[in-house]
Amino acid sequence: MQSRSRRGNCYGNAHAESFWSRLKTELLDGSFHDLSEARLEINHYSDYYNAERRRSVLSYLAPNHFETYFHLESQLYAA
């Protein structure tokens, strides 16, 4: 896949490539009965990937948990 930015810019495809790679290895094994089932499963996986899948860059927390932790920590230090 072609990058969408010039060299040195941060608008590359790394996030999209990571998502598609994980989708292919974790979900797509060719076991769908029809297109509607595939769409439903991919939608569920997308929701899981974006909100609940743990990320190493976030200290192995899910984005939802990391955001909650971040807000709690910032409130403690603001007080």
Residue-wise pLDDT for 26-60, tens only, equals: 777 767 888 898 889 889 888 888 788 888 888 88
pTM, 2 dp: 0.55
Q: How far apart are CA 49 and CA 59, in angstroms?
A: 16
Q: How many helices, marked H, and strands, marked E, lie in the chain? A: 3, 0
Amino acid at position 23, single letter: L
Q: H-type helices in the chain, by residue range?
A: 14-26, 35-51, 63-78
CB-neighbour burial class of residue 41 (10 A; exposed 0-12, middle 13-18, buried 19+): middle
Residue-wise pLDDT for 9-18, tens only, equals: 666 677 777 7
Domain ranges of the chain: 14-78
Q: How far apart are CA 35 and CA 57, in angstroms?
A: 34
